[in-house]
Amino acid sequence: MQFTHFSDFISMGGYGFYVWLSFGATALLLTLLVIDSKAGHKRIINHIAQHKRREDKLRKSREQRKKAAKTDDSAAG
Amino acid sequence: MNPRRKKRLAIVSSVLIGIGAIAGLVLYALSQNIDLFYTPSEITSGKKETGIKPVIGQRIRIGGLVVPGSVKRDPESLKVSFQLSDMVMPIVFNEGDPVVTVYYEGILPDLFREGQGIVANGTLAEHPPTGLSVEASEVLAKHDENYMPTELAEAAGQKHEKANYTPEQLNTK
Amino acid sequence: MWKWLHPYANPEVSYHLTNKLLPWFSYLAAIFLSIGLVWALLFAPADYQQGDSFRIFYVHVPAASLSMGIYVSMAIAAFSSLVWQVRLADASAAAMAPVGAAFTAIALITGSAWGKPMWGTWWIWDARLTSELILLFLYLGVIALHSAFEDKNLAGKAAGILTLVGVINIPIIKYSVEWWNTLHQGSTVSKLGKPSMSLDMLWPFIFCFIGFSLLVGVIICLRFRNEILARNSIRPWVRELVEQKTQ
């Protein structure tokens, strides 16, 4: 162990600001990147699910319209 | 490919080619000037390949090793002067090597000491007793790629102490 | 070799393989990083000239060398995508770019925070620092191109070309300190023969370096997984997976 007191560890021989700035910025950037990468998985899955729901709805309404058109035809005929 | 896509691809490729060409030209133009500093021998006798020599009054950067015994600090103020010689490995200082004197007023970086590599930024001048000199507005320390624990360094006869300043000295600025 | 590699070029297989690799990478990264960082901050000796500010070395050097290493891998991926049209290579290049950008930013920030107390300046336009800054802009350009197009194939092509043009910057970064006069010193660890530092300083560095490399692996796996899903969203296997996850 290089430091006898906790305050020595924090002050880093007078260079505390620079050392902790470096380690802090590194930790912050990497944490943000990991969080964003993890959240991206859920984001994409939700996006695809939403897309699929919209497609299903479209298909259903198209089928309904087709059916309606058919019954109209038969009614007219 | 539909026309819209074709157009976009054309734009992207022309941008890329443009960036490439500009980068190439800039690099070519700079290839002589990428060096950050002049060494003392380049100041006295010109650059080796091109012969370019800075003139008196020009703003330049100088890089070299602080000649041992040449550091003179004013005890009352932050004024300091020291000589720089070429950086050569292994470090040797010979009489008659080209040296340039640097005058500076300000706080020296923590790594400053005799024998250390220094880069100073200032104007080239001619001082009658010392010859070519640089009146520096900024002094930066350049260190080498060797790291050593203190005990090991002391065993190898190497020591480093930060420059100390009295409160009065610090008040002069 | 192509026959053996073929199944891995299948998005579904790659997705599940990535999922299986992730926990291993994560545990190893956590182990190496915690040992390395505690060692670096608490037990490594201070430098005789630089004192405790030397500890910045343990994040600065791994970040800087990984920023170049990731770029080279991204360039290899971009090349195989442009030449052999490997679709997954585009996905992996897109996954690597943000990680490389982050590590380049870390190298620049930590270098700056180290330069201020040691050299006396936060920044100087010397060849090493300038070329590393250009690397950051290259990464940002690649990220921008990947997201600028709806059509992922076109985006991959544009970003791939920029990546390949930018490869020239890598040897410039690496050798800048030898080719020109710079304020930045030469390299310590990769010096052929023996590194210029004592073993009790070198060991924590090795742990930090392996730790950061594994963390890079973790983040790239996470992002690669996302890219595969986004690029195959109409495939039945993705639809099935989405159904399972959203229920």
Question: C182-213: per-residue pLDDT in tens?
Answer: 888 877 766 545 667 788 888 999 999 999 99
Query: Which of C131, C95, C141 is closest to C111 using CA atoms?
Result: C131
C22: part of which helix (H) or strand (E)? helix C11-38
- Integer CA distances (angstroms), A32 to A75, C48, C92, C212, in order: 63, 35, 20, 15
Q: What is the pLDDT of residue C5?
A: 56
pLDDT of C2 above 80: no
Could you list the residue range(s) of the whole structural domain that residue A42 is in? Answer: 6-76
pLDDT, average across residues C49-74:
94
Token pair listed for B33: 């000037």
Taking the C-alpha atoms of residue B62 and residue B53, their distance in angstroms, rounded to an integer, is 12
DSSP string, C173-224: HHHHHHHS--SS---SSS-SSS-SB-HHHHHHHHHHHHHHHHHHHHHHHHHH
For A30-76, what is each residue's pLDDT tens digit?
Answer: 999 999 999 999 999 999 999 888 988 999 999 998 888 877 776 66
Does B63 sit within 8 Å of C196, measured CB to CB? no
Please state the ipTM of this predicted complex: 0.89
Number of domains present in the structure of chain C: 1
- Of C119, C176, C188, nearest to B147 by CB-CB distance is C188
Distance of residue B94 Cα from the nearest chain C Cα, in angstroms? 22
Could you list the residue range(s) of the whole structural domain that residue C143 is in? Answer: 18-186+199-246
Query: Which of B122, B150, B137, B142 is closest to B59 using CA atoms?
Result: B122
Contact C53, A12 (CB under 8 A): yes
Q: What is the pLDDT of residue A26?
A: 96
Query: Which of C139, C143, C147 is closest to C166 using CA atoms?
Result: C139
Q: What is the pLDDT of residue C1?
A: 46
Please report residues of C whose CB lies closer than 8 A to that of A25.
106, 109-110, 113
Number of domains present in the structure of chain A: 1
For the structural domain made of B40-171, what CATH number should be given? 2.40.50.140
Share of chain C above pLDDT 90, in %: 52
In three-state secondary structure terms, C241 is helix
In this structure, what are the phi and psi dihedrals at residue C127, rounded to the nearest 5 degrees?
-60, -40
Report the DSSP beta bridge partners of residue C25.
none
User: Chain A neighbours among C 91-130 (CB < 8 Å)?
Assistant: 98-99, 102, 105-106, 109-110, 113-114, 116-117
C134 or B96: which leads in pLDDT:
C134
Those residues of chain B that have pLDDT short of 70 are 1-2, 4-5, 8-9, 11-12, 16, 28-34, 49, 89-92, 95, 130, 173
Taking the C-alpha atoms of residue C35 and residue C205, their distance in angstroms, rounded to an integer, is 10
Taking the C-alpha atoms of residue C155 and residue C146, their distance in angstroms, rounded to an integer, is 5
Query: Within a domain: residue A68?
Result: yes
Share of chain C above pLDDT 70, in %: 94
Query: Within a domain: residue C167?
Result: yes
If pLDDT is split at 50, 70 and 90, which confidence band does C97 have?
very high
Query: Within a domain: residue A1?
Result: no
Q: What is the pLDDT of residue C183?
A: 82
Distance of residue A10 Cα from the nearest chain C Cα, in angstroms? 10
Query: Within a domain: residue A51?
Result: yes
